Amino acid sequence: MTRIRIEELLVQLEFDRSLLEELRATGLFESDELPVEEADELRVAAELMRSLGVNAPGVQVALQLRRRLLVLEERTARVLRELLEIQGK
């Protein structure tokens, strides 16, 4: 699995280290290297904090909801594919 160093992400996202420390205090992004999926979550977290002023606990809730939404979208797509297969038979 591809991992990305968090220091590189901070530079790319122009994300302040103090905001990262706030996120880490809530249990998010504790590793110095992140899988690609978590790197994308850090991008979302940065946008929420910078653009919308969401605090770290709010980001944690938003990311949990986002993960659940992604799972539901994946399940819906799978069910749709199965229904199309059944219909095609």
Structure confidence by residue, pLDDT tens digits, 36-75: 989 999 999 999 999 999 999 999 999 999 999 999 999 9
**What's the pTM value of the predicted model, to 2 decimals?**
0.84
Per residue in 13-23, pLDDT (tens digit) is 999 899 999 99
Give the pLDDT confidence score for residue 1 in this predicted structure: 76
Query: Looking at this protein, which amino acid is placed at residue 58?
Result: G
User: How many domains does the chain divide into?
Assistant: 1
Which domain does 83 fall in, by range?
3-88
Nearest-angstrom CA–CA distance, 24 and 28: 5
Ordered alpha helix ranges (H), the chain: 6-13, 17-25, 36-52, 56-88
